[in-house]
Structure 1
C-alpha cells in the first residue's frame, strides 16, 4: 500500500488532541494490559496494520503472553481471557461494528457485571479513541514497522 499524507504534520492540533485522549486514558485506572487488548482487538477488526504492530509490541513489552496475543481474534474460543476481559472484548466488538449491530442491551449488562459505571465510560473512551486512531492509520495508509 502506498503511503499517503502524514496527517500528524498536516493537522498537528488534531494529533495533539488524540495524544491528549491517550494521556487521559492512562489516568482512568483501567489496567494497561486490558487497554492493550482493547486496542489490539479493535485494530484487528479495522485492519490497521500500523496499530496492530504498535500495540502488539507494547503488550509484549509489558509482559503479555504470546498465546493470548495469538488467539485474541478468536477470544471467544479460548480460556485465556478473564470474565472482565471477555466483557470488554465483547464491548470492543460491539462498538467497533456499531453500524452492524448497534449496542445491544445484553452486551451492556454483561459489561456492568465486571465494570463500575465510570470504568464503562472510560472503556468506551478507549474504544472510541483506538477506532479514531485506526481511521487515521488505515485512511492514510500508515505502514507498520
Structure 2
C-alpha cells in the first residue's frame, strides 16, 4: 500500500501496539493522544457504536488499512456487529442502518470533504436527531479519527490488508 515506512520505532518491543509503532518515538505526544482517545470514547454523549460508525467511515475515506481493520470492543459491546459495519459503504442511504446512523455517516462525509457547506436539509435533520453536545462530540471525534488515520497513512509501511482485530482502550 504505502511502500516502506518513513519512520520506524526500532526500540525493544513492549507488546503495546501503539508504543511499538512509530508513534512510540514521541511518547509525550502519544500519551496525550491516548488520553484524548479515552475521553472521546468514554466521556462524550455519543454511544460507542455511533463513534465507531464515524471512525470506520473516516478510515474507509482515508484508506487507512490499520484503522479499517480495527474494531473497538466498546462498540461491539454496544451492538455494532460486522453485518452493520458492512453497511458503511457508498450505498448506506438504502441500508438497514438507523436514520441516526445514516446521519452520522452523512455528517462524517460532509466534515471530511467540505465542512463549511452543510446544506439546510442535512442541518435540519441533524438538529432533529442530535443535541448540540452530540454534534460537537461527533465533530471532535471525526477530527481526532481523521488526524490519526492520516498520520498512519503518511508514515507509510502499512500492508495492503490486515485481518479484522478487536482492540480495547489501553489502561
- Normalised by the length of structure 2, the TM-score is 0.73
User: Which runs of 5 or more residues in structure 1 are unaligned?
Assistant: none
CA displacement at 1:103 relative to structure 2: 3.3
RMSD: 2.1
| Structure with more helix by fraction | 1
SS in 2 for 1:130: helix
Residue of structure 2 in register with 1:114 after alignment: 129
The one of 122, 135, 142 equivalent to 1:127 is 142
User: Which runs of 5 or more residues in structure 2 are unaligned?
Assistant: 9-21, 164-171
CA displacement at 1:77 relative to structure 2: 2.5
Residue of structure 1 in register with 2:51 after alignment: 35
The CA distance in 1 between the partners of 2:58 and 2:145, in whole Å, is 7
Larger Rg: 2
Deviation string, structure 1 residues 29-75 (Cα, Å, up to 9, x no partner):
311111111100011011001001013x6478434232221121121
CA displacement at 1:105 relative to structure 2: 3.6
- Normalised by the length of structure 1, the TM-score is 0.84
The CA distance in 1 between the partners of 2:74 and 2:100, in whole Å, is 18
SS in 1 for 2:45: coil
Which region of structure 1 is more displaced relative to structure 2, 84-93 or 1-10?
1-10
